[in-house]
Structure 1
Amino acid sequence: MTSIKNRYRLGIDAGGTFTDFVVADRQTGETKLFKALSTPTDPTRAIQNGLKLIHEAIGVSPTELVSNSDLCINGTTVGLNALITHRGGKTGLIATAGHEDSIEIRNGHKEDGYRYDPEYPAATMLVPRYLRKGVRERVLSDGSVRTPMHEEDVRAACELFLKEGIETVAISFVWSVLNPAHERRAAEIVREMMPDAIITVGSELYPQVREYTRTSTAVVNAYLAPVMRRYVKAVDAYFRELGAAQPVRYFQSNGGLAIGQVLTDRSVYAINSGPASAPQAGLYVSAPFGKKSVITVDMGGTSFDITLTKDGQTNLNKNIDFLRYRIGVPMIQVETLGAGGGSIGWIDPLGIIQMGPQSAGSEPGPACYGQGGTEPTTSDANLVLGYLSPDGLLGGKLPLDIEKARAAVRKVADPLGISVERAAYGMYTIVNNNMVNGIRRVSVERGYDPRDFVLVGAGGATAAHITALAREIGIDTIILPKLASGLCAFGQIISDVKYNYMATAPVRLDNDAAYKRVDDLYKQLEKEGRAHLVSDGFTDETIEIRRSLEMRYVGQVHECTVDIDTFDIDATSIERVKEAFHRRHKELYTYAEPHNPVEVVNIESTLYGRIEKPKLPEKPKAGAAGGAIKDHRDAIFDASGIATRTPVYDGDRIGTGEPIKGPAIIEEVTTTIVIEPGWTAVLDPTNSYLITRDR
């Protein structure tokens, strides 16, 4: 029996429009979802508002809930938004003299897709040129020191930074991953002269080869650190006031949890904090149906996030350009579009309807919210089409104004000389096409056939579009949990603590000294990681380690990532490592060269602190679905703009196992599900709708 002190688990996912709250009662097995409008200017206010809603609904006060929770978990878009809007901290960079411009030279070319476009503008530099200061020092590729560090250069940089009001400093020297002494001494000087500054040391944050990637990662981390420090400090203080027994855990872009101090030190891991939990949740709700290949889509008020999991493995990205900035640390592969319920419709110079990427957000929000918004949005179109209830969202707590929605959509309809209804369906179709193109980018363009996957719906706005998306992409099976609108928050409460430890090891695998070096590095990383997790309350029984290496044939420019088991690396076991590399190389490039020598470039250990998972809530079989019809309303399902009289179901009254054939609309408290003609939905006992295309 779970003790009262550990009765609850709380997950909070702060999005651009709504902040989602999932409360799991570990005694009763119930999991409840709540939503509050996000407050971007003061994120803790949204948390306060959400805890108030929970108190009103289940009678558990914020203090009682937090003090009796084994974990309080927070996923946030604060870091992502700071990077998008360029509102990070004022940052200075200390680099090897002559390498101050590496973040601007960017390996000599633009990002993929724009490499040969002369009109594509340069990326905005997070550190302007005059705040990038060179230090005379040089470490060679064998780790030896050619030029000792001139400490007066570091001090001169600090004097400039103090004068300019710099609050955060990135330090990145050439080949510091093989000999970090100069970086560490520079950091000591910065701490001495700038005691209030936040310091990011490149060889500690991303200890792997590739100077540009390491420097860029350090700069992004430093840029976000003040923002994340303020956020973590405010959230931690608020939860301490409520009596939290454990430190708040924050969701990282690598798909795991971490305490606030880690997220402050490694702020770059906060970039995809919210959507990174979607794959874990998608796999979890798909497991009862025996599905392990899942595309999870999350449409909120501002953005549309897509993740792909093949055979239970979610892709991790490393060394990628994210929002035009090179980031080396592992991140769950998330495709993000400016497509959400708040996406604004407009007409381009050619007279074609466009949707987004600009969004009405939560302030002022779509016109139908009645909070001052006047631009036509996806939500306004969905209300005009009859998909959303005129009585409002969130069980009527967020009233909707159909006349304001029609007035907004008229801004699109009148210039085109068409009806408001046809304009609304045009907006709906365009935003769907934008999302389908995003799904193709993570599937078809990477060699996957989307028809081999199930589509899992997450996010409050997704359910109104889910059958249209599946129809267009060719997927026949949809899984839509009742918790869909807060699925990322649910994903947080079923996730583990996760830390990535990396090192560089440029060695040819052809002698005992090379094997020992790799083995010693792994053991050193894992000793550090275990100590970190033990101090966080985990035991050997709850700690799991996974290893990988970045390897290549000698003479190749690029390497590939190879997963290996945890074992001693010596002259006997090294053949297992090589064989794993040959196998992976063939998977990626269709050929292998077993006769050619192999070398390691980087190694990585991922350490997990495994956490007990709450169970999925189960719903007992109830009466026939026909008894759940509460109303009928006109809804539009094609470009003609002609409405069809459509049954509206009360999601709370739907029984398991009874088919609901489209066209139909199912109203849950936190989302509205549109079942197009040609599709059938059945509620499973695990509280997920299984929606299939009619044969």
Structure 2
Amino acid sequence: MDNSPVVGTIVGVDVGGTFTDFVLFDSQRQQRFFHKQPSTPTDPAQAVSQGLQAILRKSDLPASALTLILHGTTLGLNAIIQRRGADIALVITRGFRDVLEIARARMPSSFDFHADREPPFLPRQKVVEIPARFSPSGTVTQWPDDDELAQVASDILRLNVSAVELVTINGYANPEREAELAALLADKLGSLPVLSSAQLWPEIREYERTLIAGLNAYIQPLMQTYFQRLNDLLSQQTIDVPLLITASNGGVLPLDTAQQRPVDTLLSGPASGVIAAAQLAAGEGFVSFDMGGTSSDISLSAQGEIERVNRTEIGGLPLILPVVGVSAIGAGGGSIVQVDDYGILKVGPESAGADPGPVAYQRGGTRPTLTDCYLVSGILSADARLAGSISLDHQASHDALRELGSSIDFTAEQAASGAIAVATAQMATELNKALAQRGLTADGLTLIPFGGAGPTHANFFAEEAGINRILVPLRPGTFCAEGAISADIRRDFVRSLRTNVTTDTFIDIAGTIQELHQLAEHWFSHQAKHLSDAAHYRVEADMRYAGQAYELSVNLGSPDGINYEQIVAHFQQLHQQRYGFITPDATVQLTTLRLALNAPLPRPAEKKPALQTARQGPVQRQLWLRGAWVNADIWQRRDVSGDSKIDGPAVIEQEDTTTLVLSGWTARTDVNGNLIITRKAGDLQ
């Protein structure tokens, strides 16, 4: 971490499906406090409010001591996945009413003709056409008169929706005029808001831009209601401090921006975890592994830096926004284990969530989950209290798994072990795909597991994937919240050009860069100047040779001083690196310019934990591993010191998670209290 001054007391919050996590940093004492609060799915803000009260009690601080809250949530993401957003209408250029149904006209699977496409999040009945269109250069080619606008407004009002998105063909080339049309339409709709897609994200590709604007409108009422509810609860606690929302791109945004652009926050929780993992990796290649109650999120970095991508998928829908590169699979601690009609054992993607939760939680759950498998296998103690508050019922888990396994002639232990193996294979397959795409191997990377179940499953994952080193953070259960308090303000701006790169067109390219720079400076001065002393800017361009189907994202550096030769040279260099050749005489095209604003926030200063010397030895417990019961040493993490060497099989327990060490692996701690688990020399991959 840098030596930026720290002011007051900062709290990081990460709202998950099962637990809401908190990290409080008190700058005066240079001390961190941690807390896990059971989530309240019907009223997520309630868990945040209760958790803030709890962590203030733990730190013995009054509410007035707080100076900043950084908050991450997957509320919007879950609403999209579960299709429970607001009722909205789409207004689009006449003749393009089927844009969401046609999409990219691609089959979901080249091998399965019965595989269904993800249904549109917006039904066709709520799409209204408008006679408005632009040319590729941004010139108006169609514009509605007053009567036509009135007819469009009348059609919308009959739909009884809560918001409207406007999309015009080639609107990205003239976002100001599309915004003007949105305002004209809004005047005829009374209080019904109209969102201009080009104003929100002026990038080429109508289908993807329609999705961005539509999803933004789809979750905006939900997110605004949540934030208002949270503000009300904070006011009741006399907490009046800036509330920043973590974003999908690995930064944070002021609350006002997040309320207007909630689509920027969809992957805020997973992104925060990758931020913390990158800081912990300290420049070394890593695989971050965030395993919570509902899913596992995996991110890969060859050089220890946060990998960002400009395209991802959310609930089966493409999203062309800069985000931290994270792959999610439906295998978390709460993922339900089942046997299908063909007698095949499966894990997820359905999850028991926080309510009712795994069978072991004794909250009405009847279908076993991975958490129940850990408990029956002995990895979790029958006497454990998860997050210090949830007791576990071993017998209930055993009975549920025994009943499940009986249909395939498995005992409860065999069913548990089989489910763990299935989930592990899913994780390793996802990682192997990412490694193959980058030409990397797993043996040179460090696995950084976090989340409540990450360290529990990490050694299974590492052994299956061929990873030789695991680094378990000191507090893995609240690691995403830790990442939130380490984030900077970050906002992305975009403009599509679709132009050949020549000395003549460079004037337009340079002008667009300056336009984006001015737009970013204006946003910073009005939204974030009071939170950070200075902002830094970086330009990226999507470029390709003429005729190529896909672009490369080329880093052009600071917006000041970019010249024609520099743009072409950076592209040629990256093309050579990625594909092994260049074509110097070929025409180079630039399709999209992006500018990223980064403004550093005060950072918590590092304080090394006190070295543990006096400690208690381990007790023993039997674990079901590799088809047999084995004796394992059970350690408390507070009793593991720098000179400890723990050979597997072993279990290391702490308040927020349990770490498994398999046979053939050894665990020790580093000077910062992190747990290092390595494969023994004779077993290296």
2:4 & 2:118 partners in 1: Cα distance? 53
Whether the aligned pair in 2 keeps the contact of 1:482 and 1:668 (CA below 8 Å) is no
Residue 662 of structure 2 corresponds to 676
Stretch of structure 1 that moved more, 497-506 or 547-556 = 547-556
Deviations 1:282-330 (Å, cap 9, x if unpaired)?
111122xxx4211100111111111112213333232444322222211
When residues 330 and 350 of structure 1 are mapped into structure 2, their CA distance, relative to the original with a 3 A threshold, is: same
Matches for 1:243-258 after TM superposition, within 5 Å: 243-258=238-253
Deviations 1:382-411 (Å, cap 9, x if unpaired)?
111111121222464211111111111112
Stretch of structure 1 that moved more, 3-12 or 367-376 = 3-12
1:539 & 1:342 partners in 2: Cα distance? 38
1:234 & 1:374 partners in 2: Cα distance? 33
Residue 621 of structure 2 corresponds to 633
Q: Of 511, 515, 524, which residue of structure 2 is paired with 1:520?
A: 511
Whether the aligned pair in 2 keeps the contact of 1:365 and 1:373 (CA below 8 Å) is yes
Deviations 1:149-185 (Å, cap 9, x if unpaired)?
3443333232233232211111110111222355223
Stretch of structure 1 that moved more, 182-191 or 40-49 = 182-191
Unaligned runs of 5+ in 2: none
Q: Of 625, 638, 658, which residue of structure 1 is paired with 2:644?
A: 658
Deviations 1:410-454 (Å, cap 9, x if unpaired)?
122222223222222112222222222222232234432122211
When residues 263 and 195 of structure 1 are mapped into structure 2, their CA distance, relative to the original with a 3 A threshold, is: farther
Matches for 1:419-498 after TM superposition, within 5 Å: 419-498=411-490
When residues 525 and 181 of structure 1 are mapped into structure 2, their CA distance, relative to the original with a 3 A threshold, is: closer
1:692 to 2:678 alignment = yes
Whether the aligned pair in 2 keeps the contact of 1:355 and 1:427 (CA below 8 Å) is yes
Question: Partner amino acid for 1:606?
Answer: A
Secondary structure of the 1:628 match is coil
Stretch of structure 1 that moved more, 34-43 or 216-225 = 216-225
2:435 & 2:236 partners in 1: Cα distance? 46
Question: Partner amino acid for 2:385?
Answer: L
When residues 539 and 458 of structure 1 are mapped into structure 2, their CA distance, relative to the original with a 3 A threshold, is: closer
Residue 511 of structure 1 corresponds to 503
TM-score between both structures, scaled by the size of structure 2? 0.94
When residues 569 and 284 of structure 1 are mapped into structure 2, their CA distance, relative to the original with a 3 A threshold, is: closer
Secondary structure of the 1:274 match is helix
Secondary structure of the 1:368 match is helix
Residue 350 of structure 1 corresponds to 342
Whether the aligned pair in 2 keeps the contact of 1:617 and 1:687 (CA below 8 Å) is no
Cα RMSD of the aligned pairs, angstroms, is: 2.2
Deviations 1:125-166 (Å, cap 9, x if unpaired)?
222112111111221122222223344333323223323221
Whether the aligned pair in 2 keeps the contact of 1:198 and 1:222 (CA below 8 Å) is no
Q: Of 371, 374, 379, which residue of structure 1 is paired with 2:363?
A: 371
Matches for 1:597-616 after TM superposition, within 5 Å: 597-616=587-606
Secondary structure of the 1:123 match is coil
When residues 229 and 198 of structure 1 are mapped into structure 2, their CA distance, relative to the original with a 3 A threshold, is: farther
1:115 & 1:679 partners in 2: Cα distance? 41
Between the two proteins, the alignment pairs up a number of residues equal to 678
Deviations 1:19-38 (Å, cap 9, x if unpaired)?
11111122222222211111
2:46 & 2:267 partners in 1: Cα distance? 22
Residue 564 of structure 2 corresponds to 574
2:387 & 2:167 partners in 1: Cα distance? 53
Whether the aligned pair in 1 keeps the contact of 2:6 and 2:605 (CA below 8 Å) is no
1:618 to 2:608 alignment = yes
When residues 149 and 310 of structure 1 are mapped into structure 2, their CA distance, relative to the original with a 3 A threshold, is: farther
Residue 299 of structure 1 corresponds to 291
Secondary structure of the 1:506 match is strand
When residues 110 and 319 of structure 1 are mapped into structure 2, their CA distance, relative to the original with a 3 A threshold, is: farther
Residue 326 of structure 2 corresponds to 334
Residue 68 of structure 2 corresponds to 71
Deviations 1:479-502 (Å, cap 9, x if unpaired)?
101211111111111000100011
2:129 & 2:103 partners in 1: Cα distance? 17
2:495 & 2:680 partners in 1: Cα distance? 52
Q: Of 554, 576, 579, which residue of structure 2 is paired with 1:589?
A: 579
1:529 to 2:520 alignment = yes
1:84 to 2:81 alignment = yes
Q: Which runs of 4+ in 1 moved over 6 A?
A: 2-5
Residue 39 of structure 2 corresponds to 38
Residue 93 of structure 2 corresponds to 96
Stretch of structure 1 that moved more, 29-38 or 179-188 = 179-188
Question: Partner amino acid for 1:76?
Answer: T
Stretch of structure 1 that moved more, 392-401 or 452-461 = 392-401
Secondary structure of the 2:332 match is coil
Q: State the shift of 1:278 in Å.
A: 1.9
2:532 & 2:309 partners in 1: Cα distance? 29
Secondary structure of the 2:232 match is helix
1:141 & 1:193 partners in 2: Cα distance? 28
TM-score between both structures, scaled by the size of structure 1? 0.93
Unaligned runs of 5+ in 1: none
Question: Partner amino acid for 2:67?
Answer: D
1:582 & 1:121 partners in 2: Cα distance? 40
2:41 & 2:617 partners in 1: Cα distance? 38
Residue 124 of structure 2 corresponds to 129
Deviations 1:54-85 (Å, cap 9, x if unpaired)?
2443333xxx24x3233201110111110011
1:82 & 1:628 partners in 2: Cα distance? 47
Whether the aligned pair in 2 keeps the contact of 1:345 and 1:375 (CA below 8 Å) is yes
Stretch of structure 1 that moved more, 51-60 or 33-42 = 51-60
1:221 & 1:539 partners in 2: Cα distance? 25
When residues 260 and 208 of structure 1 are mapped into structure 2, their CA distance, relative to the original with a 3 A threshold, is: same
Matches for 1:396-407 after TM superposition, within 5 Å: 396-407=388-399
1:128 & 1:665 partners in 2: Cα distance? 51
Whether the aligned pair in 1 keeps the contact of 2:128 and 2:156 (CA below 8 Å) is no
When residues 395 and 611 of structure 1 are mapped into structure 2, their CA distance, relative to the original with a 3 A threshold, is: closer
Q: State the shift of 1:555 in Å.
A: 3.3
Secondary structure of the 2:172 match is coil
1:552 to 2:540 alignment = no
1:156 & 1:352 partners in 2: Cα distance? 56
Stretch of structure 1 that moved more, 21-30 or 178-187 = 178-187
Secondary structure of the 2:632 match is strand
When residues 311 and 411 of structure 1 are mapped into structure 2, their CA distance, relative to the original with a 3 A threshold, is: same
When residues 36 and 141 of structure 1 are mapped into structure 2, their CA distance, relative to the original with a 3 A threshold, is: same
Residue 649 of structure 1 corresponds to 635
Q: Of 362, 380, 387, which residue of structure 1 is paired with 2:379?
A: 387
Question: Partner amino acid for 1:532?
Answer: W
Whether the aligned pair in 2 keeps the contact of 1:367 and 1:375 (CA below 8 Å) is yes
Q: Of 142, 147, 170, which residue of structure 2 is paired with 1:147?
A: 142
Q: State the shift of 1:600 in Å.
A: 1.5
Q: State the shift of 1:538 in Å.
A: 5.4
Q: State the shift of 1:604 in Å.
A: 0.8
When residues 603 and 438 of structure 1 are mapped into structure 2, their CA distance, relative to the original with a 3 A threshold, is: same
2:308 & 2:325 partners in 1: Cα distance? 5
Q: State the shift of 1:564 in Å.
A: 0.9
Secondary structure of the 2:598 match is strand
Stretch of structure 1 that moved more, 212-221 or 359-368 = 212-221
Secondary structure of the 1:629 match is coil
When residues 294 and 538 of structure 1 are mapped into structure 2, their CA distance, relative to the original with a 3 A threshold, is: farther
